[in-house]
Structure 1
Amino acid sequence: MGVHEIRVRIGDLSRQQAYLLVNRPDFPQPVAVLAQGKVWLVEEVEAWLATRQSTEGGDLRPP
């Protein structure tokens, strides 16, 4: 899953907000860095999102 797929999964998230999100220290580490960008395991991102949505009230956009 790349940054674009993460943006689509979360919804109303700008490109800049998505890059801030994936660079948070608590965000899962990418499994690979390709010429097109970083990629993450879907399961790890989904687990992270589930945890964040319950603790942050569903708003995952960086401040």
Structure 2
Amino acid sequence: MKLDLVGFGELVERFGLSRSQTYRLSKRPDFPEPGLTSGRRVWWTAEVEQWISEHRPDLGRDA
């Protein structure tokens, strides 16, 4: 069973921002809470995509 999770590096690619900009974005209080797997922060893809659609529509898949 594949879990639909994204790691920090995938967030950097998805946002098209620098690592430091992505880090600041991920620390916003309205950004989805990460979970931990093998000591690494991960996010549910669906939650990240929902956040993007609400807060950064310019980053939408069709943009």
Structure 2 length normalisation: TM-score? 0.73
Q: Which has the higher strand share?
A: 2
List alignment gaps of at least 5 residues for structure 1.
Answer: none
Q: Report the Cα offset of residue 33 of structure 1.
A: 5.2
Runs of 4+ in 1 over 3 A off after TM superposition: none
Distance 2:46 2:20 in 1: 23
**Is 1:29 aligned to 2:23, yes or no?**
no
State the Cα RMSD in Å.
1.7
Distance 1:21 1:34 in 2: 23
1:10-39 C-alpha deviation (Å, 9 max, x unpaired): 11x11111110111100001122543x310
